[in-house]
Amino acid sequence: MKNKKLIVTMLMATMPLSILSGCTAETKTDLSNTQNVSNEPQSDNDATQNLQATYNSIQSADVIVVGAGGGGMSAALAAVENGAESVIIVEKMPMTGGALNTTSGTMSGAMTIIQEIDGLTEDSIESYKNDIITEGEKLGGYANEPLVEYYVNNADDMINQLWEAGLSDNQYTVDSEGRKSVFAPEHTLYSYPRSYKAKPNNPEKYKSAAHELLDELVAKEDKIKVVLNTEVVELQANEQGQVLNAIAVSNDETILFTANNGIIMATGGYAGNPELMGEFSEYGDVVITGGLATADGNGLRLMQEVGGSLHIESMGWIPTYPMGLESLEIEGTGQIATTKTQYAGGILVNTKGERFVNETDADNVAREVALEHQPEGIQYEIYTDKIGEDLVASGQGGFLTYYFQSPAFADHVITASSLEELAQKLEIPVDTFLKTVEDYNANVDAKTTDEFGRNFAETSSPFNVAINKIEGDKFYAVAIKPLAIITMGGIQVNTDMQVVDETGNAIPGLYAAGETVGGVWGRYVSSGVGVMGPIVFGDLAGENVMTNELATGYDVKPASNILSEDLFIKKNTASVDELSLTGVKDGEYNVTVDGQEGPMEIKVSFKNEVITGVEIIKHNETITIAKTALEAIPQAIVDANNVNVDNITGATLTTNRIIKSVIAAVELAKQ
């Protein structure tokens, strides 16, 4: 740990008045009374010296928010609106946004100003609620109806506020009649068009318009401070049982954040933690993760340590998307990317060469569950040029053209001049596959409904835009696996968003919002709710942390079933035991490796067997996530003259690609 640099003047500026003025032990912000600090009588000077010896810095605010995603930023804004003079958002990643960095940010709400402008005036709050609850009840799930009730009655107000704050100026994905209120076929369709796909004004910096707007609103608010690259590792309660302290680490420094009114945990879900998902999910071994590596669920454990109760049943509710393209570099990780060719006459087959589902079923859950049950969780999307052309003509060819018809993703596409050759390349039974295609083509000719319920008589939905046989001069296949990008489990809260213990009692000072809260929506989540839910409930938590009276006399006890620390062991950059530069020739060497959405090209320079430069010539990384790694890792490698450098939080894949490039350049320079 670095030498302590905290000076008395800084301490005086940031320390709660309870210490500086010698308040009694009952004062809620008296740091000398935290449970992990000695309770022996101390002078003000002794307390100051003890804190100086323990922490590199101490920062105090009315409200501490842990997590700068949609829920955290919304909570901070609401706290200020309800009287907070100071709010600190603590974020372990090098940027705000959380999960909004990985999604286009579809929003939803009923009876909104957007629907009104579109002339869609027949929606209702009750219909919205019923759609959400029906989706959540699939396969034995159940929603928290009081929280869903609050959400549906406030989502429209939040949409309208965001519209007035700037979303009205954004471009939107529109339907055939130019309306911004649309159906979202990546989810089970609502009974009425109420999804909104706003595009960010600055797509190089933001992936979702919601993130962009919230970031701007937070930046404009002088009373909100955002602290990045800082991870909260412990929550502390004082003698009154009030959870008002959060201990965090940043690089080699330890920071104490202390709140006057409360702490809001908006730490997200655990879709980036395969070990934790596998602990509760029956099909965890075949699911790949598309969540940020920082979406590890560790915030749940921190809340359990001060008594927070997990909603255990929902921990295994991990909806998957049947559109996961697995990384060729990092097994078990991937991204949303599907050809969608099954909607235009293509088929899905498993590793046995057999179809297993109605590929055009409007119920996403049916297709999701069917894929989870397949051997190794693999489906091959089989299509032809004609099928691809019809899909593009329907307006649904975005994924196909952007990804699979580009050189960047060529390694994911298996191409053959015959069905026999395709089966051989896929290593699936040839005869079975040929019979599968033969039977499928016969159903197309008969214009009937097959054994899976696929209708070949007419094109009637966004999931069935063209009818084609599997025939042609070329045949294509792409392997797809179940992808998890959101989790439904988490901590339990009451209707004020206060974290509750195993007896249902609220823990004073501790609130939660967003994906870290469990059991809200049921087993599956509806379109736009994954974005708007955290924003709406973050707003509620921010209001209540300022308006609720801070209770006293609570006895803090750890939960009885705290998640094992082993589930949170971080897997950082690939370590290289020894990178020998002996024999490396002077010069500049260009190396190309696979990147996030296309090749990454890097130039590495050597002189006198020393790495003198690492320059990224071009890349196709997701800039909202990778920016810090792209800027910091090359220089870190040069400074260390080695590739064993610290990982950039949230950008592990980008870091590994840069390291892989440098290793390849070393080998090239030795030739």
- CA–CA gap between residue 325 and residue 289 (Å, rounded): 10
- CA–CA gap between residue 298 and residue 267 (Å, rounded): 8
> Which tens digits make up the pLDDT trace of 207-226?
999 999 999 999 999 999 99
pLDDT band at 619 (very low <50, low <70, confident <90, very high): confident
Residue 251 clears pLDDT 90, i.e. is over it: no
Mean pLDDT, residues 58-77 taken together:
98
Closest C-alpha to 105, from 162, 154, 157: 162
- CA–CA gap between residue 99 and residue 267 (Å, rounded): 10
Residue 516 clears pLDDT 50, i.e. is over it: yes
- Return the pLDDT at 19: 34
Residues 201 and 169 sit within 8 Å (Cβ to Cβ): yes
Six token digits for residue 433: 């596959």
Least confident of 59-63, 554-558, 568-572, 621-625: 568-572
Amino acid in position 559:
A
- CA–CA gap between residue 344 and residue 561 (Å, rounded): 49
pTM greater than 0.75 (yes/no): yes
Q: What is the mean pLDDT of the chain?
A: 88
Closest C-alpha to 384, from 415, 356, 411: 415
Residue 321 clears pLDDT 50, i.e. is over it: yes
- CA–CA gap between residue 56 and residue 587 (Å, rounded): 44
> Which tens digits make up the pLDDT trace of 126-140?
999 999 999 999 999
pLDDT band at 44 (very low <50, low <70, confident <90, very high): low
Residue 434 clears pLDDT 60, i.e. is over it: yes
For strands 87-90 and 224-227, give the pairing: parallel
- Return the pLDDT at 413: 97
- Return the pLDDT at 285: 80
Q: Cα(first)–Cα(last) distance of the chain, in Å?
A: 42
Q: Could you give the domains of the chain?
A: 8-65+83-92+230-261 (no CATH), 321-483 (3.90.700.10), 587-669 (3.90.1010.20)
Helix, strand and coil content of the chain, in percent to the nearest 5, comes to: 35, 20, 45
Mean pLDDT, residues 636-655 taken together:
78
pLDDT band at 661 (very low <50, low <70, confident <90, very high): confident
The string of DSSP letters for 626-663 reads HHHHHHHHHHHHHHHTSS--PPPTT-HHHHHHHHHHHH
Q: Please count the other Cβ atoms lying within 10 Å of the Cβ belonging to residue 219.
A: 12
> Which tens digits make up the pLDDT trace of 179-203?
999 999 878 899 999 999 999 999 9
